[in-house]
A and B are shown apart, each in its own frame.
Chain A
């Protein structure tokens, strides 16, 4: 790490090789697009190199790099959101309370699934969430961020984080149950 901070590229290449899948996975789970995820993870590594001097070791290098890629993805998602009209469904989600009418999924919709199949279903279900709901879920479930940290990262209140997270989880459960039904027909 110190050699990389002094400007040596060879150890930095080692760091890229070690963490590249994790950084890409984070970008992919947020963007839901392979090309964009590759581009953003590449951009994150370039930024990582440029800011390497600022890395103090307060968190692990992987965590530090993940924060960089998360911020890049959030910027990109906000730009995309500004460019497209919000769907009626998304507006309903923002107003809150839709999840209260969702039935509780009593049986586990992913029980007995092979890992690959489970991953595919979650992938499809995540793709149907708005970026705000998906991001809050990703930051909480994969990054293990606390509500306060998510609120800071996303620039919203803790209350908004809680309601978005609740909606995202409930919607995901319904979507997974629907996918199970479709496959059983």
Chain B
């Protein structure tokens, strides 16, 4: 008995065959002992299963089970909590956190970039003029590690002031 014939026998017992096919299988069962034995086995299994489900009961009391179901239904049906305005400090904090983070990133970026700029300057010499004091000149030589400051003494503005004072006297 091949596999297809076995499946056909099963379909016959399950009432899934057309009349013509069912009568073919019925003939085979009557003729073939192996087919008849398989039919009996399938029938016995079906009978055993039929007796199985009847006694299964939910192992929780009616009240307890219903209370769980009801609670879950009520939880799902409860309206979503309304949006409460956040306190002033919390709103400020929401703004400050990203701003602080941005500032931190900016400072870090500057700190990373600056040494590179300074390294580029080491080979060259700088001359600075302090704006506050137009009479002072600073010469820096990074390669030699030297700084020189020229001061005119007395400063031009001091000469002018002393002249004015002298005039008053």
A residues in contact (CB < 8 Å) with B: 9, 13, 16-17, 20-21, 24-25, 28-29, 34, 38, 41-42, 45-46, 49-50, 97, 100, 104-106, 108-110, 115-116, 118-119, 122-123, 126, 137, 140-142, 146-147, 162-163, 165-166, 169-170, 172-173, 176
Contacts and interface: CB of A to CB of B under 8 A. Distances in A.
Interface of B: 3, 6-7, 10-11, 14, 16, 34, 37-38, 40-42, 44-53, 55-60, 62, 65-66, 68-70, 72-73, 76
Nearest to A39: B68
A110 B68 CA distance: 39
B156 to A, nearest CB: 89
A140 B11 CA distance: 12
Nearest to A20: B58
Nearest to B57: A21
29 contacts: A13-B66, A16-B65, A16-B66, A16-B69, A20-B58, A21-B58, A24-B56, A24-B57, A24-B58, A28-B56, A29-B53, A29-B56, A42-B68, A46-B76, A104-B37, A104-B38, A106-B40, A108-B47, A110-B48, A122-B51, A141-B49, A146-B16, A162-B10, A162-B11, A163-B7, A169-B10, A169-B42, A173-B45, A176-B48
Contact of A20 (B11, B55, B62): B62
- A-B pairs, top 6 by smallest CB distance, nearest first, are A25-B56, A24-B58, A110-B48, A108-B44, A122-B52, A141-B49
A110 B44 contact: yes
A55 B86 CA distance: 44
A147 B14 contact: yes
Contacts of A137: 49
Nearest to B46: A141
B59 to A, nearest CB: 7
Given A16-B65, A21-B57, A24-B57, A118 B44 contact: no
B38 A123 contact: no
Nearest to B51: A118
